[in-house]
């Protein structure tokens, strides 16, 4: 049985997402971590599906995905420094 090719970029995205959610939990409390983990899930997954089904553009989907993660990180930083 041959294993499928390992794709590093989606793996790194998942790791960064998890680190951001854990950082939100540790620094901002359980609600901040839950908002990051599930909020991104509720926004990001449908948006990725729309981009991939309408445009079939993997580069655009990747840019949107990473862009939303950066925005979530910036929002956490602003919220913690209020």
State the pLDDT confidence band at 75, using cuts at 50, 70 and 90. very high
pLDDT at 24: 96
Supply the mean pLDDT for the chain. Answer: 94
pLDDT one-digit tens code per residue, 31-67: 999 999 999 999 999 999 999 999 999 999 999 999 9
Place of tokens 């840019």: 63
pLDDT at 1: 83
Q: Return left, alpha or beta for 7; rule: phi > 0 is left, psi -120 to 50 is alpha, else beta.
A: beta
Q: Is the pLDDT of residue 29 over 90?
A: yes
CB distance 60 to 51 below 8 Å = yes
Question: Could you tell me the pTM of the whole model?
Answer: 0.86
């Amino acid at each position: 049985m041959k294993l499928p090719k390992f794709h590093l970029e989606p793996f790194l995205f998942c790791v960064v997402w998890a680190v951001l959610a854990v950082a939100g939990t540790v620094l901002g409390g359980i609600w901040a971590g839950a908002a990051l983990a599930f909020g991104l899930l509720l926004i990001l997954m449908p948006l990725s599906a729309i981009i991939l089904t309408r445009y079939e553009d993997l580069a655009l989907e990747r840019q949107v995905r990473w862009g939303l993660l950066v925005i979530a990180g910036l929002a956490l930083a602003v919220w913690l420094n209020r």
